[in-house]
Amino acid sequence: MLSIEFKYYREHQKELSQKYLGKFLIIKDCEVQGAYDDHIVAYEEAKEKFGLGNFLLQHCLPGELNISRTFHSQVILSE
């Protein structure tokens, strides 16, 4: 569930931003699975490896502004 991955990011934001400042992180299973300079590359590789809706793509920056943005995913939901 993505809320668990986002909670992990929030709880570890300070140390993650020191290690991965400005990178786009792929977080899955409460672990950083990859750090990328380009969000498109990060998204495409994570989509291939984990499937849509199974990972968090997070721009890694310090501070509250970084965690108050909303990004809309390209996930297709079906009934």
Question: What is Dmax (Cα atoms) for the chain?
Answer: 41
**Which H or E run contains 16?**
helix 2-20
Residue 21 to residue 15: CA distance in whole angstroms: 10
Sign of CA dihedral 55, 35, 42, 70: positive
Per-residue pLDDT of the chain (79 residues; tens, 9 = 90+): 788 999 999 999 999 999 999 999 999 999 999 999 999 999 999 999 999 999 999 999 998 766 655 555 666 555 5
